[in-house]
A and B are shown apart, each in its own frame.
Chain A
Amino acid sequence: MSIIIRKDQWINLAIIASTLWFIWFASSHFDEYTVRILNNIAIFTILAVSYNLINGVTGQFSLEPNGFVAIGAYVTALLLLDGDAKSYQFDIEDPYPWVLALHANFIWALFFAGLFSALLALTLSFPVFRVRGDYLAIVTLGFGFIIRILAINNPEITNGSLGLNDIPEFSNLYWTGGIALLAVWGILNIVNSKFGRAMKAVRDDEDAAIAMGVNTFKIKTFAFCTSAFLEGVGGGLLAALLTSISPDLFTFFFTFQLLIIIVLGGLGSTTGAVIGTVLVIGGAEWMRFLDEPMNFGFFETPALPGMRMVVFSVILIFVMLFAREGIMGKRELKDLFKKAKK
């Protein structure tokens, strides 16, 4: 291999370096509120790029992320809480002895959260990928509901609807930002390999992909498991950021928010998923001023809680009207540079 670094690699290095610098700068200079939002953006970046892999790149319309995020969050929470903390807060039922015995440090907790989600995705893929299109959406939607109901109805493990509290706050911007960077890098590596090409082929025309010798079931399972792994890790980071989780956190609205992000950014574009996250998560915070009383000089409005969601929806409608495929379409960052050259 040549040691000379090509132009696009310089661009990648510059992006990585500036992101790392920004993480350092933000965590040492910004106030707590801003850092909190940046943490949210980083976690949702992980979730959005991984959800985009199955939904945008592979074209399998699935609605399962809230299920895997919930699993990741619960696994991490149970591993981070020590036995005393658990027996103290389990009010509905006494926890199983093995639940009390679970304990691991943060890295292993995140890893097991991902692994558990991925293994579940693997078992789920056998029934799920027997159906295509709309049916797939319904089956995966059901999965999200089942996970939530299981969490509520197994208080011996999850403390039921009270949820788990006092989770040690391990997540900081280095963790969330670092893992987000790794996730984007990993996903882009998949997309730019034969596996990514096969995933796009499945999206474009599944029968033609089969006629090219692509094992489409295997490719879909790869995409699904990878996406589930990262969603599990993202859920773990979220649990360690919020310090308290309950089944109500992982409703269908959670999936819906991710869906808005990737559709807004452009289905199938990893760059788009990142941009979508910044706009939706960051934008929703920035637009909070719309909820407050506003003074237009000649006219004063009362506080209108929820006004920002109205404005946000209008913006979303306009994006969908004028950029039907989302902000980035199916393009990535490097395609934009290519265009600029011509």
Chain B
Amino acid sequence: MILELKNVTKKFGGVTAIKDTTFRVNSKEIYGLIGPNGAGKTTMFNIITGNYEATEGDIIFRKEPLNGLKPHAIVRRGIARTFQNIRLFKSMSVMDNVLIGFDFQAKYTYFESILRFPRFFGEEKRIKKRAMEILEYFKIAEFSEQKATDLSYGQQRKVEIARALATNPVMLLLDEPAAGMNPSETEELANLIKSARDDFDLTILLIEHDMKFVNQLCDKVLVLDYGKTIFEGKPADAIRDKEVVAAYLGDFVSHD
């Protein structure tokens, strides 16, 4: 077990976005977070990454609580994320985008960079080499000097995942990675996520609407509806669950 959420509740004023949610993600698992729009999936991500603070409950990552930590500190502990709408640094090259992920791993100080100490050159060389390895893994090394926003949508997705992997995470949170992709791109992405899981020793938590994608990829899913957990288990069982179907399509049975 690598991540555990215990009775997490999040309220925005009078609205309860997440209600008393408990779940566990095991090491090397691909865990899906699904549910209709407004179910609280992205809120859940923002709580784990520290962007929001949970109103109640604990988030425990690798046996240590994350409550109250600043988002950048949580990244440094090994949780990286991507965004629902791609958010690359638009004035920067693909290479520089990935190098931002190495920001806290390059060990030189501000003064060493101003005065160009030898350590600056050594560290820059080291992180550039590692960034190049990641780009090669995602087969986007040839675009490294191009502006990130000049790439195609699918490739921008890859840059975003590569950038997240640059922070050397233990756990990767993907917010709708397959959104806006065609079936063949989705297929390719699913394979990429699977192999990245094995090659980078990752645990993956993802939000996705594409049920085929979820079925193919996830070991386990959690279904949310209006902040409530309505199902946890294998993705194949989720589709057959009465409550899940009701949440997505409406309840046809009992309103008498």
Contact = CB atoms under 8 A, between A and B. Distances in A.
A208 B75 CA distance: 11
A213 B75 contact: yes
Interface in B50-100: 51, 70-72, 75-76, 80-81, 83, 87-92, 96, 99-100
Contacts of B92: 197, 200-201, 204
Contacts of A208: 83, 87-89
The listed residue with most B CB atoms (<10 A of its CB), out of A208, A212, A214, is A212
A198 interface: yes
A210 interface: yes
Given A213-B76, A213-B101, A195 B113 contact: yes
B104 A213 contact: yes
Interface stretch (B10-18, B115-123, B193-201, B218-226): B115-123
Interface string A158-195: 00000000000000000000000000001001100111
Contacts of B124: 193-194
Given A1-B121, A201-B100, A211 B71 contact: yes
B114 A189 contact: yes
A189 B115 CA distance: 8
Given A186-B114, A211-B81, A197 B91 contact: no
A103 interface: no
A213 B91 contact: no
B106 interface: yes
A205 B87 contact: yes
A187 B22 CA distance: 49
B103 A213 contact: yes
Interface residues of B, number: 39
B61 to A, nearest CB: 15
A193 B113 CA distance: 6
Interface string A1-42: 100000000000000000000000000000000000000000
B90 A195 contact: no
A268 interface: yes
A153 B106 CA distance: 47
A330 B49 CA distance: 32
Contacts of A194: 99, 102-103, 106, 108, 113, 124, 127
B201 to A, nearest CB: 18
B110 interface: yes
A193 B89 contact: no
B53 to A, nearest CB: 15
B80 A189 contact: no
B167 interface: yes
B157 interface: no
Given A193-B113, A204-B91, A214-B103, 16 more contacts: A190-B110, A194-B99, A207-B51, A207-B87, A208-B88, A209-B89, A212-B80, A212-B101, A212-B103, A212-B163, A212-B166, A213-B101, A215-B72, A215-B104, A222-B110, A330-B91
